[in-house]
Structure 1
């Protein structure tokens, strides 16, 4: 009798629980129906799902407490990326001269599709959102794209040329544009040559970071705003052979990656992984380089590259500002991004012509303490088949790094056309 009564009570309780659950679900559904699309989408995007193990996750090794999976593939030389106002990942697909959007609407950790949002952008390399405007930089041009009709596409009438006619002959054709905390447009332009011996650079905008207004004008407070050569007026800092990417720190400082010269052997010059770029400064190339490995001590002075004679404009290495952090030669640092804890991730593109031991292609983590880079360690490895392989022939080669607001890390691979997604794991 007691058992039968207890069973009846339990059945009634279960019915009440089921009824309350249904009511709760209805209320929740009504509540969700009142949430706008723009508010709901980031909630979906913030679900840090880890898809089942795939070939990329099996091959690549990421730092402890993280998991890496393939996010998208089949792209043509994807380079730098940006997270849009809609929470989607946007990629500069340099090999296809277009910008693509890679949404993950169902929050499963994989791109749902590849959507071309802008095409016919020669050599598009970098992306930067500023409000609802998207700034993109190509071989000789910086564009501003504005989706005025909110259809998710950028038509011809919604594309404006902000800066045009950037020097584009010779080597180092990528251009990177970022918008600083001062609301100004900064553009990195690489050198024409490895070193100037046998090749005249000519244009002062090369091997430099330039600074413009958002409409392409010359800010009055540029360090060379009144220079007799109108091309030099845009120069913010010089002596930067090839700063492929750069970021602004919360305190406004600018940190740039830098690719040094070839031809001095397997170990020289050290790769200047982080340079703190300040207005009007010269960072040594092609006359001098930072010789220390790792964290560069205060008071360090650059040393001479004897292949290049000094001249009237640059008479001593004392005029050069050393890097803040270096690594072994030929690592070829490209994309850079900052983590929430202040550390920095840099895509090492790796060597293609090292004289002796090839340098790895990987993503490196630079540890930062009190605003100063102090040490480094591998974060994502496994792109080569063996330690003797040059990265020019490796399975993959990282190029860009982007960190979303929810901590998701995206890495582009311009060798095999992949985008990798890295999130914290419980392992």
Structure 2
């Protein structure tokens, strides 16, 4: 895999230079291109010399006439007319870029503020805040500083909001460090950090294809984050965008979290186990051995067990064992825990407990507690306290939900014993 450049050159060369390069590579003169694009010859000349910047609609016609590649088209439209680009690129292979308004909205909601609350704090009308969030007005200069001050923005929020600026400048960038730093953020800042990182990577991927995998990875994790937040209605549109992006960039493996999130949404909407297994099989077809394939096979086995196909489910897990032996990222503990999950779905609590009974990993205590309850045993105070502390520290809605499930299970068990 080629190594991406650490510097961003999104705006170099200029729009005019790029139009000229494309025109000459197609063997077209200014007059010929003007006819094809439906713009004036002198107008084209002014674009190429940098005296004027084209409007989004005029540039779109010109790029279509030049048969520009999707990557070139997305980059140039975003440079020339960001607001127009968000509309016309939405259904395209690269999707629309993350806008400042999306980051601002996430920052506002993190504080449980309404648009009116923020408007009052900044000293503007509520309609102005609405236009910032929709992208109809650009947030910049002193007004941007005032908004950041009013929100008492965290450093990661400042970085995210500025990264989403249409005119974000050139700077060096260490993706792996940014990815590690992101994992140290509190959960309520995780989403905002992902938005900023995706905004940055979107521009980089349009300049250098080596940034494609990081872009899809971050966008995909952002979709999966909706499961942790129990915001299932947010998943379909965003997941489809990521899957289209991944398909256009040839990064199917990196899109696995988005695919799994979309599957979780569809299952909640009533998709039958058999139908979901078919979708998983189609998605995995030709997928190389990888951690993502392992988890897809595990999910397939759980879904089969849920549908009453236990024998086939455990045959699928044997495939998992084969994957584990070939891929270092998957451990023996991963396979044992995946097997236990299938037993839990199949209501074989005893079998699940035998696999998890001595597993002290904090991340396994929810499954361990479910296995104990399935055989009418109360989880220890230590297990429940681990779940409680995890919910408190992480502030993840899914962790709170897991704690509630176990506490209700304990209450039902005690009532049954009485």
Q: Please, what TM-score do these two structures have when normalized by structure 2?
A: 0.25
For normalisation by structure 1, the TM-score amounts to 0.24
